[in-house]
Amino acid sequence: MRTVIEGSHAVSYGVMLCRVQVIAAYPITPQTHIVEKLSEFCASGELQAKFLKVESEHSAMASCIGASAVGARAFTASSSQGIALMHELLHWTSGARLPIVMVNVNRALAAPWNIGCDQIDSLSQRDTGWLQFYCESSQEALDTVIQAFKISERVSLPSMVVLDAFYLSHTYEPVDIPDRERVDKFLPPYEPKYKLDPKDPRSFGGLTGPDTFTELRYQMQQSMEQAQSVIVEVDEEYRKIFGRGYGRMEAYRCEDAELVLVTTGTVTSTSREVVDQYRDEGKAIGLLKIKAFRPFPSEEIRRNLKGIPKVAVIDRNISFGSGGIFAEELRSALCNEKERPLVFSYVAGLGGRDITQETISNVIEYTLEEDQPKEASLWPDLRR
Protein backbone atom coordinates (compact mmCIF):
# COMPACT_ATOMS: atom_id res chain seq x y z
CA MET A 1 0.00 0.00 0.00
CA ARG A 2 1.44 3.34 -1.03
CA THR A 3 0.68 6.20 1.32
CA VAL A 4 2.09 9.47 2.61
CA ILE A 5 3.23 9.19 6.20
CA GLU A 6 5.66 10.62 8.70
CA GLY A 7 9.09 8.96 8.91
CA SER A 8 8.41 7.90 12.49
CA HIS A 9 5.24 6.16 11.45
CA ALA A 10 7.02 4.40 8.61
CA VAL A 11 9.17 2.83 11.30
CA SER A 12 6.06 1.92 13.33
CA TYR A 13 4.55 0.17 10.33
CA GLY A 14 7.78 -1.74 9.78
CA VAL A 15 7.79 -2.88 13.39
CA MET A 16 4.16 -3.92 13.22
CA LEU A 17 4.80 -5.96 10.08
CA CYS A 18 7.60 -7.78 11.90
CA ARG A 19 5.00 -9.05 14.41
CA VAL A 20 7.12 -7.80 17.28
CA GLN A 21 5.93 -9.38 20.54
CA VAL A 22 7.27 -6.98 23.15
CA ILE A 23 7.75 -3.22 22.92
CA ALA A 24 9.20 -1.45 25.94
CA ALA A 25 9.68 2.26 25.59
CA TYR A 26 10.11 5.56 27.28
CA PRO A 27 9.20 8.72 25.38
CA ILE A 28 11.83 11.17 24.17
CA THR A 29 11.73 13.73 21.41
CA PRO A 30 12.16 13.14 18.45
CA GLN A 31 11.51 9.41 18.83
CA THR A 32 8.15 9.48 20.60
CA HIS A 33 5.91 9.29 17.55
CA ILE A 34 7.30 5.85 16.73
CA VAL A 35 6.18 4.23 19.95
CA GLU A 36 3.01 6.30 20.14
CA LYS A 37 1.87 4.81 16.87
CA LEU A 38 2.93 1.36 18.03
CA SER A 39 0.91 1.73 21.21
CA GLU A 40 -2.09 2.52 19.01
CA PHE A 41 -1.45 -0.61 16.98
CA CYS A 42 -1.32 -2.60 20.22
CA ALA A 43 -4.50 -0.99 21.49
CA SER A 44 -6.38 -1.65 18.27
CA GLY A 45 -5.18 -5.22 18.09
CA GLU A 46 -3.45 -4.70 14.74
CA LEU A 47 -0.30 -5.72 16.57
CA GLN A 48 -0.54 -8.51 19.13
CA ALA A 49 2.26 -7.31 21.36
CA LYS A 50 2.84 -6.49 24.97
CA PHE A 51 3.50 -2.77 25.24
CA LEU A 52 5.41 -1.89 28.39
CA LYS A 53 5.46 1.68 29.60
CA VAL A 54 8.62 1.86 31.62
CA GLU A 55 10.17 4.44 33.91
CA SER A 56 13.38 5.02 31.96
CA GLU A 57 15.29 4.02 28.86
CA HIS A 58 17.47 1.82 31.03
CA SER A 59 14.34 -0.11 32.02
CA ALA A 60 13.14 -0.12 28.43
CA MET A 61 16.24 -1.93 27.29
CA ALA A 62 16.20 -4.17 30.38
CA SER A 63 12.63 -5.19 29.52
CA CYS A 64 13.59 -5.90 25.93
CA ILE A 65 16.48 -8.01 27.18
CA GLY A 66 14.14 -10.05 29.37
CA ALA A 67 11.66 -10.46 26.55
CA SER A 68 14.31 -11.43 24.03
CA ALA A 69 15.87 -13.87 26.49
CA VAL A 70 12.65 -15.87 26.63
CA GLY A 71 12.48 -15.88 22.85
CA ALA A 72 10.19 -12.95 22.09
CA ARG A 73 10.88 -10.53 19.25
CA ALA A 74 11.53 -7.23 21.02
CA PHE A 75 11.75 -3.62 19.91
CA THR A 76 12.39 -0.21 21.37
CA ALA A 77 13.19 3.25 20.12
CA SER A 78 15.03 6.13 21.69
CA SER A 79 17.20 9.19 21.14
CA SER A 80 20.06 11.18 22.59
CA GLN A 81 20.05 11.17 26.43
CA GLY A 82 17.85 8.08 26.36
CA ILE A 83 20.41 6.12 24.37
CA ALA A 84 23.12 7.38 26.70
CA LEU A 85 21.18 6.16 29.71
CA MET A 86 20.83 2.73 28.11
CA HIS A 87 24.53 2.42 27.51
CA GLU A 88 25.26 -0.26 30.10
CA LEU A 89 22.50 -2.48 28.77
CA LEU A 90 23.56 -2.02 25.15
CA HIS A 91 26.70 -3.95 26.05
CA TRP A 92 24.61 -6.53 27.86
CA THR A 93 22.32 -7.05 24.87
CA SER A 94 25.11 -7.89 22.47
CA GLY A 95 27.06 -9.89 25.06
CA ALA A 96 23.96 -11.95 25.76
CA ARG A 97 23.60 -12.35 21.98
CA LEU A 98 20.04 -11.02 21.88
CA PRO A 99 18.70 -9.91 18.46
CA ILE A 100 16.83 -6.84 19.69
CA VAL A 101 16.16 -4.09 17.16
CA MET A 102 16.16 -0.48 18.26
CA VAL A 103 15.51 2.65 16.28
CA ASN A 104 17.64 5.59 17.26
CA VAL A 105 16.41 8.93 15.99
CA ASN A 106 19.66 10.90 15.92
CA ARG A 107 19.58 13.87 18.27
CA ALA A 108 22.34 15.97 19.78
CA LEU A 109 23.38 15.34 23.36
CA ALA A 110 23.22 17.98 26.08
CA ALA A 111 24.61 20.23 27.50
CA PRO A 112 23.29 22.56 26.28
CA TRP A 113 19.84 21.14 25.54
CA ASN A 114 19.20 20.62 21.88
CA ILE A 115 16.69 18.41 20.15
CA GLY A 116 18.06 18.79 16.63
CA CYS A 117 19.77 16.20 14.56
CA ASP A 118 23.32 15.00 14.92
CA GLN A 119 24.80 11.55 15.14
CA ILE A 120 26.72 11.66 18.38
CA ASP A 121 24.14 9.58 20.29
CA SER A 122 24.45 6.53 18.04
CA LEU A 123 28.16 6.92 17.29
CA SER A 124 28.93 7.09 21.02
CA GLN A 125 27.63 3.53 21.10
CA ARG A 126 30.03 2.39 18.39
CA ASP A 127 31.76 -0.21 20.55
CA THR A 128 28.72 -1.77 22.21
CA GLY A 129 28.51 -4.65 19.75
CA TRP A 130 25.38 -3.44 17.95
CA LEU A 131 24.98 -3.41 14.22
CA GLN A 132 24.23 0.12 12.99
CA PHE A 133 22.35 1.15 9.85
CA TYR A 134 21.92 4.80 8.77
CA CYS A 135 18.84 5.52 6.66
CA GLU A 136 18.28 8.15 4.00
CA SER A 137 14.49 8.00 3.53
CA SER A 138 11.32 6.94 5.32
CA GLN A 139 11.00 4.03 2.93
CA GLU A 140 14.51 2.91 3.70
CA ALA A 141 13.81 3.18 7.44
CA LEU A 142 10.75 0.94 7.13
CA ASP A 143 12.55 -1.59 4.96
CA THR A 144 15.64 -1.55 7.16
CA VAL A 145 13.66 -2.35 10.31
CA ILE A 146 12.31 -5.48 8.65
CA GLN A 147 15.72 -6.46 7.34
CA ALA A 148 17.36 -5.73 10.70
CA PHE A 149 15.29 -8.34 12.53
CA LYS A 150 16.26 -10.94 9.99
CA ILE A 151 19.94 -10.01 10.06
CA SER A 152 20.08 -9.79 13.86
CA GLU A 153 18.30 -13.08 14.37
CA ARG A 154 20.75 -14.76 11.99
CA VAL A 155 23.91 -13.42 13.63
CA SER A 156 22.59 -13.20 17.22
CA LEU A 157 23.53 -9.58 17.64
CA PRO A 158 21.29 -6.54 18.13
CA SER A 159 20.69 -3.86 15.49
CA MET A 160 20.31 -0.13 15.72
CA VAL A 161 18.42 1.47 12.85
CA VAL A 162 19.31 5.14 12.74
CA LEU A 163 17.23 8.06 11.42
CA ASP A 164 17.92 11.79 11.29
CA ALA A 165 15.82 13.77 13.76
CA PHE A 166 13.05 15.79 12.08
CA TYR A 167 14.57 15.63 8.57
CA LEU A 168 13.33 12.07 8.53
CA SER A 169 11.38 11.39 11.70
CA HIS A 170 8.92 14.25 11.31
CA THR A 171 8.77 14.60 7.53
CA TYR A 172 5.94 13.19 5.47
CA GLU A 173 6.98 11.20 2.42
CA PRO A 174 5.31 8.69 0.14
CA VAL A 175 5.99 5.24 1.55
CA ASP A 176 5.10 1.82 0.29
CA ILE A 177 3.89 -0.36 3.14
CA PRO A 178 4.53 -3.98 2.22
CA ASP A 179 1.89 -6.69 2.46
CA ARG A 180 1.74 -8.57 5.69
CA GLU A 181 1.81 -12.00 4.05
CA ARG A 182 4.97 -11.19 2.10
CA VAL A 183 6.71 -9.87 5.22
CA ASP A 184 5.62 -12.99 7.11
CA LYS A 185 7.22 -15.07 4.39
CA PHE A 186 10.39 -12.99 4.47
CA LEU A 187 10.62 -12.91 8.25
CA PRO A 188 9.48 -16.14 9.94
CA PRO A 189 8.91 -16.20 13.73
CA TYR A 190 11.99 -15.95 15.91
CA GLU A 191 13.18 -19.34 17.13
CA PRO A 192 16.26 -18.95 19.29
CA LYS A 193 18.52 -21.88 19.95
CA TYR A 194 19.05 -20.91 23.57
CA LYS A 195 16.32 -19.34 25.58
CA LEU A 196 15.33 -18.77 29.15
CA ASP A 197 12.84 -21.46 30.09
CA PRO A 198 11.42 -21.63 33.63
CA LYS A 199 10.82 -25.35 33.19
CA ASP A 200 14.53 -25.89 32.63
CA PRO A 201 16.22 -23.10 34.53
CA ARG A 202 19.75 -22.22 33.45
CA SER A 203 22.09 -19.48 34.41
CA PHE A 204 22.58 -16.82 31.71
CA GLY A 205 25.51 -14.46 31.52
CA GLY A 206 26.86 -15.65 34.84
CA LEU A 207 30.40 -15.06 36.02
CA THR A 208 32.75 -16.17 33.25
CA GLY A 209 36.48 -16.42 33.92
CA PRO A 210 39.46 -15.55 31.75
CA ASP A 211 39.52 -19.15 30.56
CA THR A 212 36.54 -18.60 28.27
CA PHE A 213 35.91 -14.85 28.10
CA THR A 214 38.25 -14.25 25.18
CA GLU A 215 36.54 -16.98 23.18
CA LEU A 216 33.09 -15.49 23.77
CA ARG A 217 34.36 -12.12 22.59
CA TYR A 218 36.02 -13.67 19.57
CA GLN A 219 32.71 -15.30 18.65
CA MET A 220 31.06 -11.88 18.75
CA GLN A 221 33.66 -10.47 16.43
CA GLN A 222 33.17 -13.44 14.12
CA SER A 223 29.43 -12.83 14.10
CA MET A 224 30.04 -9.22 13.16
CA GLU A 225 32.24 -10.39 10.29
CA GLN A 226 29.57 -12.88 9.30
CA ALA A 227 27.06 -10.03 9.33
CA GLN A 228 28.97 -8.39 6.43
CA SER A 229 27.71 -11.05 4.05
CA VAL A 230 24.39 -11.64 5.86
CA ILE A 231 23.48 -7.98 5.33
CA VAL A 232 24.07 -8.35 1.61
CA GLU A 233 22.19 -11.66 1.38
CA VAL A 234 19.20 -10.41 3.31
CA ASP A 235 19.12 -7.22 1.25
CA GLU A 236 19.18 -9.20 -1.98
CA GLU A 237 16.37 -11.45 -0.79
CA TYR A 238 14.41 -8.37 0.18
CA ARG A 239 14.96 -6.80 -3.19
CA LYS A 240 13.67 -9.94 -4.88
CA ILE A 241 10.44 -9.92 -2.88
CA PHE A 242 9.75 -6.21 -2.48
CA GLY A 243 11.72 -4.64 -5.34
CA ARG A 244 13.85 -2.44 -3.10
CA GLY A 245 17.35 -2.85 -1.72
CA TYR A 246 20.04 -0.67 -0.25
CA GLY A 247 23.17 -2.74 0.36
CA ARG A 248 25.77 -1.76 2.89
CA MET A 249 26.47 1.37 0.86
CA GLU A 250 25.56 3.01 -2.40
CA ALA A 251 27.99 4.49 -4.93
CA TYR A 252 26.28 7.25 -6.95
CA ARG A 253 27.86 8.57 -10.14
CA CYS A 254 31.34 7.64 -8.89
CA GLU A 255 32.67 6.52 -12.26
CA ASP A 256 35.91 8.39 -13.11
CA ALA A 257 35.23 10.88 -10.35
CA GLU A 258 37.98 13.26 -9.35
CA LEU A 259 36.23 13.74 -6.04
CA VAL A 260 33.79 11.54 -4.12
CA LEU A 261 31.59 12.90 -1.36
CA VAL A 262 30.96 10.47 1.47
CA THR A 263 27.69 10.92 3.36
CA THR A 264 25.24 9.21 5.69
CA GLY A 265 21.55 9.75 6.40
CA THR A 266 19.51 12.53 4.83
CA VAL A 267 22.50 14.63 3.72
CA THR A 268 22.81 12.03 1.01
CA SER A 269 19.62 13.21 -0.71
CA THR A 270 20.80 16.82 -0.79
CA SER A 271 24.20 15.69 -2.01
CA ARG A 272 22.67 13.75 -4.89
CA GLU A 273 21.18 17.00 -6.17
CA VAL A 274 24.52 18.80 -5.89
CA VAL A 275 26.38 15.96 -7.54
CA ASP A 276 23.88 15.99 -10.43
CA GLN A 277 24.43 19.73 -10.89
CA TYR A 278 28.22 19.27 -11.03
CA ARG A 279 27.88 16.37 -13.45
CA ASP A 280 25.59 18.56 -15.62
CA GLU A 281 28.37 21.10 -15.69
CA GLY A 282 30.73 18.33 -16.76
CA LYS A 283 32.56 18.07 -13.46
CA ALA A 284 33.25 14.50 -12.32
CA ILE A 285 31.93 14.49 -8.80
CA GLY A 286 30.62 11.24 -7.22
CA LEU A 287 28.82 10.29 -4.05
CA LEU A 288 29.26 7.35 -1.68
CA LYS A 289 26.45 6.84 0.78
CA ILE A 290 27.44 4.64 3.69
CA LYS A 291 24.56 2.77 5.27
CA ALA A 292 26.23 0.10 7.44
CA PHE A 293 28.49 1.55 10.07
CA ARG A 294 28.79 -1.62 12.16
CA PRO A 295 30.07 -3.91 10.88
CA PHE A 296 32.13 -1.34 8.93
CA PRO A 297 32.26 -2.41 5.28
CA SER A 298 35.94 -1.59 4.82
CA GLU A 299 36.55 -3.88 1.89
CA GLU A 300 33.63 -2.57 -0.15
CA ILE A 301 34.75 0.98 0.60
CA ARG A 302 38.24 0.23 -0.64
CA ARG A 303 36.73 -1.25 -3.78
CA ASN A 304 34.50 1.75 -4.40
CA LEU A 305 37.22 4.31 -3.82
CA LYS A 306 39.89 2.60 -5.87
CA GLY A 307 41.53 5.13 -8.14
CA ILE A 308 39.62 8.08 -6.69
CA PRO A 309 42.05 10.95 -5.96
CA LYS A 310 40.09 12.86 -3.34
CA VAL A 311 37.37 12.04 -0.84
CA ALA A 312 35.34 14.58 1.16
CA VAL A 313 33.59 13.05 4.16
CA ILE A 314 30.72 15.04 5.64
CA ASP A 315 30.31 14.09 9.29
CA ARG A 316 27.27 15.19 11.26
CA ASN A 317 29.20 14.38 14.42
CA ILE A 318 32.47 15.14 16.11
CA SER A 319 34.86 13.08 18.16
CA PHE A 320 36.45 15.86 20.16
CA GLY A 321 40.20 15.90 19.84
CA SER A 322 40.08 13.85 16.70
CA GLY A 323 37.48 14.80 14.09
CA GLY A 324 34.58 13.45 12.10
CA ILE A 325 33.98 9.84 13.01
CA PHE A 326 33.12 8.49 9.55
CA ALA A 327 36.24 10.18 8.17
CA GLU A 328 38.34 8.41 10.80
CA GLU A 329 36.79 5.06 10.02
CA LEU A 330 37.31 5.65 6.34
CA ARG A 331 40.94 6.58 6.82
CA SER A 332 41.57 3.45 8.86
CA ALA A 333 39.90 1.35 6.16
CA LEU A 334 42.21 2.88 3.54
CA CYS A 335 45.46 3.28 5.39
CA ASN A 336 47.03 -0.03 4.34
CA GLU A 337 46.36 0.61 0.63
CA LYS A 338 49.35 1.54 -1.49
CA GLU A 339 47.30 3.93 -3.58
CA ARG A 340 44.68 5.71 -1.59
CA PRO A 341 42.71 8.92 -1.90
CA LEU A 342 43.28 12.04 0.11
CA VAL A 343 40.61 12.17 2.81
CA PHE A 344 39.15 15.56 3.75
CA SER A 345 37.10 15.53 6.97
CA TYR A 346 34.22 17.99 7.19
CA VAL A 347 32.14 18.49 10.33
CA ALA A 348 28.76 20.10 9.61
CA GLY A 349 25.10 20.20 10.53
CA LEU A 350 25.51 19.77 14.28
CA GLY A 351 22.50 20.13 16.60
CA GLY A 352 20.04 20.39 13.73
CA ARG A 353 21.83 22.97 11.58
CA ASP A 354 20.80 22.52 7.93
CA ILE A 355 23.41 21.13 5.59
CA THR A 356 22.42 23.10 2.52
CA GLN A 357 23.38 22.70 -1.12
CA GLU A 358 25.60 25.72 -0.59
CA THR A 359 27.45 24.02 2.27
CA ILE A 360 27.97 20.94 0.12
CA SER A 361 29.20 23.05 -2.82
CA ASN A 362 31.67 24.79 -0.53
CA VAL A 363 32.93 21.37 0.59
CA ILE A 364 33.41 20.31 -3.02
CA GLU A 365 35.09 23.55 -4.08
CA TYR A 366 37.50 23.53 -1.14
CA THR A 367 38.40 19.89 -1.70
CA LEU A 368 39.01 20.45 -5.38
CA GLU A 369 41.16 23.52 -4.75
CA GLU A 370 43.37 22.30 -1.94
CA ASP A 371 46.15 19.74 -2.27
CA GLN A 372 45.90 18.88 1.39
CA PRO A 373 43.30 19.66 4.05
CA LYS A 374 44.65 22.59 6.07
CA GLU A 375 43.14 21.31 9.28
CA ALA A 376 42.40 17.86 10.72
CA SER A 377 38.69 18.72 10.64
CA LEU A 378 37.14 21.39 8.50
CA TRP A 379 33.95 23.19 9.60
CA PRO A 380 32.26 24.45 6.44
CA ASP A 381 29.13 25.83 8.09
CA LEU A 382 30.89 27.47 11.05
CA ARG A 383 30.02 31.16 11.49
CA ARG A 384 33.33 32.92 11.43
Partner 1 sequence: MKEKVTFKRLQDIPPVAISLGTLLWNKTGTWRYLKPKYVVKTPPCNEACPAGNDIEGFMVLVKEGKLHEAWELIREENPFPGVCGRVCFHPCESSCNRRDYDEALSIHAVERHIADAHLKSKREKRHTKIKRKERVAIIGSGPSGLTCAYHLARMGYGVTVFESQSSPGGILRVGIPEYRLPKAVLDREIADIESWGVEIKTNTRVGKDIPFDDLHKYQAIFIAVGAHQSRRLHIEGEHAERVLSGLEFLKHVHMGKKVSLGDRVVVIGGGNVAVDVARSAWRVGARKIQMVCLESREEMPASSEEIAETEAEGIEILPSAMPLRITSDGGRVKKVEFIKAKLGEPKPDGSLNPISIPGTEFSLEADSVITAIGEVPDLSFLPREVPINKGLIEADEMGFVHVKGFFAGGDTVNPVHTVTGAIGSGKKTALAIHEYLRGGWSREKFRTIQVGGKGTISLKKYFHPPEGEANPPVVHFQDLHTDTFDHQPRISIPRISIDERRGGFKEVNSGMKGEEALEEARRCFHCGVCNGCDNCWVYCPDMAVKRKQGRYEIDYDYCKGCGICFEECPRSAILLEEEGR
Interface with partner 1, residue 280, by CB under 8 A? no
Question: In the bound complex, what is the minimum distance in angstroms from residue 374's beta carbon to partner 1?
Answer: 48
Is 212 among the residues that bind partner 1 (CB under 8 A)? yes
List binders of partner 1 among 71-100 (CB under 8 A). Answer: 95-97
Cis peptide before 178 (omega within 30 of 0): no
Per the CB < 8 A criterion, the answer to whether 381 and 352 are in contact is: no
- In the shown chain, the binding pattern of residues 216 to 255 toward partner 1, with x for contact by CB under 8 A and - for none, equals x-xx---x--------------------------------
Q: How far apart are CA 220 and CA 272, in angstroms?
A: 36
Confirm if 53 and 178 have CB atoms less than 8 A apart. Answer: no
Give me the least distance between CB of 210 and partner 1, in Å please.
Answer: 12
The kind and range of the H/E element at 146 are helix 138-155
Residue 292, beta-bridge partner list: 133
- The distance of closest approach from Cβ of residue 65 to partner 1 in the complex, given in angstroms and rounded to an integer, is 13
Residue type present at position 105 = V
CA distance 368 to 355: 19
220/334 with CB nearer partner 1: 220
**Minimal distance, residue 58 CB to partner 1, in Å:** 17
> Residue 61 or 257: which CB sits closer to partner 1?
61
| 230: CB partners within 8 A, 6+ apart | 151, 154, 155
Alpha carbon 357 to chain centroid, angstroms: 23
| Cβ–Cβ under 8 Å, residues 93 and 204 | no
Does 215 interact with partner 1 (rule: CB under 8 A)?
yes
* Position 194 contacts partner 1 (CB under 8 A): yes
Site string for partner 1, 123-162 (x = CB under 8 A): ---------------------------------x------
Say what angle helices 267-280 and 357-369 make with each other, to 10 degrees.
60
Quick check: 200 binds partner 1 (CB under 8 A)? yes
Residues that bind partner 1 (CB under 8 A): 95-97, 156, 194, 198, 200-206, 208, 211-212, 215-216, 218-219, 223
